Structure 1
């Protein structure tokens, strides 16, 4: 089997993140285990679509969501496309596969009132963690960067004179994002506290734990959930909701879709358009209150 070569290809040539390559690897191993246990087939390189279909049925029957099943099958599809390119197989068994239908996923952004409640009214502690936490929330909201991009930010990426930050996005694609004055002030304040840490293991990175280690993903999630639980009743409170909030608030204030696309680091407008449903709601409100026909 060529699973190891495929994972190396994703990491070294496609520049996928360790998190993404691990997900692909886990999906392939899960399918391999299923084939071995159910059909005594140990090699998944040469399988028919019927085996894959059996796995899909088993996943659905075990309660796995259609969205998650589609993601797992996407991993298989990429693997077989890789094998096809190497000449190991002559036909991709998933060539005619149709994804399972999924309900449209709508994520509700935080309101301007909720954002104000956290950033302007929340009593953040006047210490390293308090200043770090506030800067994390401010940066996610004012730049729209992803959680992994935030964690990967280095001190050299912030240019306070030019008022910009350099972000390393998916596929190692760089983009420059404007920095607001309030965000710069928070960064300078936090940096003073950061420089006073007794030990710093990962000095290049901006966001550190109190022990001086590089920030990790679950800690960012816990920080967002901690503060927003105090002001919001929304079920989902995560770093991605702040990215969603950034895009929605910009669009609601009249920003054009292409500009928001560039700020978010999307490769196509289709990815950005998922954030427009709230802007349309705002337009409906304006239309409803302003159009003469509505007064009749």
Structure 2
């Protein structure tokens, strides 16, 4: 009766969809069933916080995700809020229950062999466009810059003498990124063919054939096209190359604070996610290599 009364409220007063109402029904019946398995005298009205916590642990042990469990907790809170207003319960046993934290997905990155294939073995277009597109992939991988930072680069931001790139990041914060001799050679090659091809002298470093600055969608398409030639990852965005840079640096024993500064992260916590990525890779290597893994 209580569940039906609550569901009628959702349907006729809140105008919830049938699908949403059915989800609430399933959640409430599921908890009530679990409570009765613990004690036949328990109902949704007299369950306590401990029972709800045990129910959550039970759900997680059965493979429910944190998102699913938190949604069920939300159903309970709405249920008890409704009956608190109607004064049919004296307290909300779900109020002090903290839901499980969602596990943040690890960054998607390319292995060193895959990024080398893209740069050294895959085909790019002929002439200026091919050199430019390869330069874009290499710039992402060699510096770890964001998409917005890459298309915002001007010629004046590239210091070939000191091998430094000035990048304007989030909230207009500027930072300097060092680069090596290999990227320097690629930059010189790109500038040479660009300046031969483009009739109007561009302010922007990366340009279209018309001399106009590149836009985000164009860069996203070319990065996706090249990554697709070597891997079947679901994510094939410029940000994957940024993750690839950070992971490669960490795998080669770069200092975490140095990576933070190069990436332009506001806090070290944002950079530390890459330590989890490399640890997961280490576990996979162990499982494949160790005879008793």
TM-score, shorter chain, exceeding 0.5: yes
Q: Does 1:242 align with 2:241?
A: yes
- Which residue does the alignment assign to 1:123? 123
Q: Does 1:191 align with 2:191?
A: yes
* Whole-angstrom CA distance in 1 between matches of 2:198 and 2:192: 13
Contact 1:142 1:246 in 2 (8 A): yes
Contact 1:155 1:204 in 2 (8 A): yes
* Whole-angstrom CA distance in 2 between matches of 1:175 and 1:181: 20
Secondary structure, counterpart of 2:121 in structure 1? coil
Give unmatched runs, 5+ long, in structure 1.
1-53, 67-97
Q: Does 1:260 align with 2:249?
A: no
Measured after TM superposition, the shift of residue 282 of structure 1 is: 4.3
* Whole-angstrom CA distance in 1 between matches of 2:190 and 2:218: 17
Within-5 A mapping of 1:281-292: 281-284=280-283
Within-5 A mapping of 1:1-296: 102-200=102-200, 203-284=202-283
Secondary structure, counterpart of 1:175 in structure 2? strand
Bigger Cα Rg? 2
Secondary structure, counterpart of 1:171 in structure 2? helix
Change (3 A) 1:159 1:99: farther
Aligned pair count reads 202
Contact 2:198 2:209 in 1 (8 A): no
Measured after TM superposition, the shift of residue 111 of structure 1 is: 0.8
Alpha-carbon displacement from aligned partner over 1:112-134 (angstroms, at most 9, x marks no partner): 11101101112333411000001
* Whole-angstrom CA distance in 2 between matches of 1:264 and 1:160: 20
Contact 2:107 2:277 in 1 (8 A): no
Contact 1:252 1:282 in 2 (8 A): no
Contact 1:197 1:212 in 2 (8 A): no
* Whole-angstrom CA distance in 1 between matches of 2:270 and 2:152: 22
Using the TM superposition, name which of 238-247 and 117-126 deviates more: 117-126
Contact 1:137 1:224 in 2 (8 A): yes
Using the TM superposition, name which of 172-181 and 279-288 deviates more: 279-288
Runs of 4+ in 1 over 6 A off after TM superposition: 98-101, 285-291
Change (3 A) 1:121 1:289: closer
* Whole-angstrom CA distance in 2 between matches of 1:103 and 1:273: 15
* Whole-angstrom CA distance in 1 between matches of 2:104 and 2:292: 33
* Whole-angstrom CA distance in 2 between matches of 1:131 and 1:248: 26
* Whole-angstrom CA distance in 1 between matches of 2:288 and 2:231: 27
Measured after TM superposition, the shift of residue 107 of structure 1 is: 2.9
Change (3 A) 1:251 1:197: same
* Whole-angstrom CA distance in 2 between matches of 1:154 and 1:246: 22
Secondary structure, counterpart of 1:191 in structure 2? helix
Measured after TM superposition, the shift of residue 212 of structure 1 is: 1.2
Contact 1:252 1:279 in 2 (8 A): yes
Change (3 A) 1:173 1:100: farther
Contact 2:118 2:230 in 1 (8 A): yes
